Structure 1
Amino acid sequence: MATAEIAVALPTLVLVTAIALWGLTAASVQLTCTDAARTGARAAARGESLTAVRERVAEAVPDGATVRVSQDGATVHVDVSVPVKPPAAAALPPLTVQAHVAAATEPGVPPDDARPAISGPEEATDRPTPEPDSPGGPR
Structure 2
Amino acid sequence: MKINIINSFNKEDYSKTINLVLTKAGNITNNQNKSINIILVDNKEIQRLNKEYRNKDYATDVLTFPDGYLNNLGDVFVSIPKSIEQSEDLGHSKERELGFLTIHGFLHTLGYDHHTDEEEKVMTELQDKILNSAKLYR
Q: TM-score, normalised by structure 2?
A: 0.23
Larger radius of gyration: 1
